[in-house]
Amino acid sequence: MAAAQLNMSQLDQHSVKAMLLQKHISELEKYQQYNGEKADSPTNESGNDSGCENFSDRKSDHDSSTNARSISPISDEEPKMKRSKLIDVVNVDAPVSQSRNMFSIRNLIYSKDTSDSETDQSEDSGNAASNSNGSSPPRPWSPDHEVMRKLKADLSTTLHSFVDTVVSDVCNKVSSNYKESLRNQRKAFHEHRLHLHQEDPMDTVDTRQIIEDAKPMLTAAAAAAQSTISSASPSIASFAAHAQRAQQLQQLTSRHTPSVPTPHQAILSQHLAARATQPQVFQREAPRPLGYPYTALQSSYPYNPMLNSATETYGRRPFLSIDPLTGRIKSEHEMSDEQAMIFGAAHPQEGLTPHHLKKAKLMFFYTRYPSSNVLKTFFPDVKFNRATTSQLIKWFSNFREFFYIQIEKYARHALSEGIENAADLKVTRESELFKALNNHYNKTNEFEVPEEFLDVALMSLREFFVNIKEGRDVDPSWKKAIYKIICKSDIEIPDAFKSATFLTDVAH
């Protein structure tokens, strides 16, 4: 790598360009090859929906000095396997696209400048490593017809599909946005106004805005193509055609909107202008192992000026960005409310409302230990972040607390009444226990409590009953064994709960 830098300083502009080209060829080859190997992408859909499997059996043995806290060996078989947590937080980011060869083009567009920033070893290592695949380290390179032809073909293909990807993504966003807002309105108007007029101002604004925001991408694609071409070879007709296509698209969108450059465009033109005047060595990151978990940690990707510098400079988050790994357009995970509204999909809400609390309580009738994934799917109108996730989890923790306190209370009460047999215990909708629970989770009694909840209450009641009766409650952690049993009783929450308008649909 040191050699590479030494060579670099001595090379004239032409050689730099040439190397650049070769580098991209090798990248293309590499990524096409990589693409073939990784045809099947791993999908990280974690499978624990019940949350029960994750019950954490944490015995607190630490304070054995004061009170021996260990789960007394109970009659049933002690599950030996180690379990993680009651509620498992798994953020699954699914989008995996097959077009990996977008990568090179994306670097063309977004790669950092290496000349003005200090070129340290680590950055250089990326270059060296990328060359290590077959081609020898940077050697003086003379344009070769075969290579040029291959370059043209590869870049043409890549650029072509890149533009297609951009366009189709934008189209998809627009159409899905439109469909979503239609669907939402339909919900809101409660089924009678199915044929919504398309003149809804919100919709047209949305579409225009999306196109407007996507424009920089198209501009970038076109400009990058042109700058690349012009620096590589004076005239390559096939490229110009593609670039023009991208620009035509941009012009197409410009008709709808005033052509005031957006901050994105300003940034991009700065980048591109800088690149045009002083040809750079386009760097790429160090090669990833094949098992790179590209479904996560996208935000940590280093070379996305759109995310790093542009947003800081202009204080505005990008509405759409190019996924660093897939090359596809993606929306930002953290959109401002305004932008979230523009997207229209589900108006993600920042905080949890009393509405959500109410719904969560009803969900408790079905599941006492929901995983965070379940929570996320059943609150589609909530914009989840750390705080809201914690809050929801805390809610269910509080629900459980209240539930078990009530159960224990009535178990002790039954015991004090002289009930001998746990089988004599029962829980009906007329039971005081049920009324207490219902009054907590379903105060207005708008919701019909599922039968299964009565079973769970009864099961819990009996467990508490026998445990207390057997005197196991002297063990400070005696309840944990019960929790372990009860958490298995979670059942599927009806799909109706997934609707953001569930309460208005069902409760009224």
Partner DNA sequence: ATTCACCCTG
Partner DNA sequence: CAGGGTGAAT
Sites of contact with DNA (CB under 7 A)? 56-63, 82-87, 89, 352, 357, 360-361, 369, 372, 386, 389-391, 393-395, 397-402, 404, 440, 477, 479-480, 483
Query: How far is Cα 145 from Cα 142, in angstroms, rounded to an integer?
Result: 10
CB 393, min distance to DNA, A: 4
In this structure, the chain runs to a length of 508
Residue with tokens 């009930």: 419
CB 340, min distance to DNA, A: 22
Residues 427, 454 contacting (CB under 8 angstroms): yes
Q: Which is nearer to DNA, 59 or 256 (CB)?
A: 59
CB 374, min distance to DNA, A: 11
Q: Which is nearer to DNA, 214 or 362 (CB)?
A: 362
**What's the one-letter identity of residue 394?**
K
CB 369, min distance to DNA, A: 7
Helix and strand numbers (H, E) in the chain are 18, 2
Q: Which is nearer to DNA, 62 or 255 (CB)?
A: 62
CB 382, min distance to DNA, A: 13
Residue among 281, 361, 292, 353 nearest 325 (CA): 292
Residues 463, 482 contacting (CB under 8 angstroms): yes
Q: Which two tokens stand for residue 13?
A: 């502009």
CB 399, min distance to DNA, A: 7
CB 368, min distance to DNA, A: 9
Q: Which is nearer to DNA, 56 or 125 (CB)?
A: 56
Which residues in 389-403 are b (16+ Cβ under 10 Å) and which e? bebbbebbeebbebb
CB 89, min distance to DNA, A: 3
Query: How far is Cα 340 from Cα 320, in angstroms, rounded to an integer?
Result: 11
Q: Which is nearer to DNA, 86 or 166 (CB)?
A: 86
Q: Which is nearer to DNA, 303 or 402 (CB)?
A: 402
Q: Which is nearer to DNA, 208 or 333 (CB)?
A: 333
3-class SS letters over 235-302: CCHHHHHHHHHHHHHHHHHHCCCCCCCCHHHHHHHHHHHHHHHCCCCCCCCCCCCCCCCCCCCHHHCC
CB 390, min distance to DNA, A: 5
Q: Which is nearer to DNA, 82 or 145 (CB)?
A: 82
Q: Which is nearer to DNA, 393 or 491 (CB)?
A: 393
Q: What is the DSSP letter of 349?
A: B
Query: How far is Cα 25 from Cα 486, in angstroms, rounded to an integer?
Result: 60
Query: How far is Cα 16 from Cα 9, in angstroms, rounded to an integer?
Result: 9
CB 352, min distance to DNA, A: 7
Q: Which residues contact 147 (CB under 8 A, 6 or more apart)?
A: 21, 22, 25
Query: How far is Cα 46 from Cα 41, in angstroms, rounded to an integer?
Result: 15
Q: Which is nearer to DNA, 452 or 473 (CB)?
A: 473
Residue among 42, 89, 32, 112 nearest 301 (CA): 112
Bridge partners of 329, per DSSP, are: 322
Q: Which helix (H) or strand (E) holds 118?
A: none
Q: Which is nearer to DNA, 83 or 183 (CB)?
A: 83
CB 104, min distance to DNA, A: 34
Query: How far is Cα 382 from Cα 322, in angstroms, rounded to an integer?
Result: 24
Q: Which is nearer to DNA, 431 or 477 (CB)?
A: 477
Distances (CA, A) of 242 to 150, 157, 224, 245, 418: 17, 10, 11, 5, 86
CB 476, min distance to DNA, A: 8
3-state class of 320 per DSSP? strand
Query: How far is Cα 255 from Cα 167, in angstroms, rounded to an integer?
Result: 17
Longest pairwise C-alpha distance within the chain = 98
The beta-strand segments (E) located in 265-423 are 320-322, 329-331
